[in-house]
Amino acid sequence: MIRWAYAFLDRPADRFETAAEFWTQATETTLSPRRGENGEFATFQPATGDAFLKLQAVGGPGGGHLDFAVTDVRAFITSALDAGAAMTADHGDWAVLRSPAGHFFCAVPWHEEQTRPAPVTGPSGVRVRADQMCVDALPDGFETEYAFWAAVTGWESQAATLPEFSRVVPPPSLPVRILVQRLGSAADRPAMHLDLACSDVPAAVAWHVSLGAVVLDVRPKWTVMRDPAGGVYCLTSRIP
């Protein structure tokens, strides 16, 4: 039923332009004209292929969310509710829902998006692809959240190499997959953030730092970053 997926970067409204400037450079895209009642939405347009990354101005600290473009919005909504979603706002031809862990996602009409953009090439030839949304779950809700995303998407479930992660992987033609992460404690705040696959993580980190990002944490297989608008994301050692 899902024909395309969009990853949204949700950033504070007063930092919208800062986020737009950073992410257009980091993804080698151009920004569409702003739209929405308050100009709160914009799309990152790639040089080739169909867009899949968008920016939204929000109140609060922001984070991320997913939009699923489907052929039958009403049928998808019914399926999502049956899988455990909660309705937040039903606009008829599209809707905002929440996962069991409280993460927002949207059901929207498919507009024949079908071509996945190529990875971008940064300085030193590093190849980078924004391709994954990491979904946090509290320790006692991890299995429920993982099962929910597998059910609502119908995508393939895959265990990761580390026990605190599990993946939900779409067909190769779709641009965004889902990684469900078990948080360390109930005190952590569940959120969604973007992950980027990198051919060389240190080179990608250096590139993003030159654009204004800050390193928050370095792990063996990924580095946690903060963009100039305050949003957290990760650069990971996966094949772009």
Per-residue pLDDT tens digits for 159-170: 888 889 999 999
CA–CA separation, 67 and 3 (whole Å)? 11
Which alpha helices (H) appear in the chain, and where do they start and end?
Answer: 16-27, 73-83, 142-153, 201-210
pLDDT digits (tens, 9 = 90+) for 170-195: 999 999 999 999 998 765 778 999 99
pLDDT digits (tens, 9 = 90+) for 56-110: 999 988 899 999 999 999 999 999 999 999 999 999 999 999 999 999 999 999 9
pLDDT digits (tens, 9 = 90+) for 23-62: 999 999 999 999 999 999 999 999 999 999 999 999 988 8
Residue 16 pLDDT greater than 90, yes or no: yes
Q: Tokens for 36?
A: 């929405």
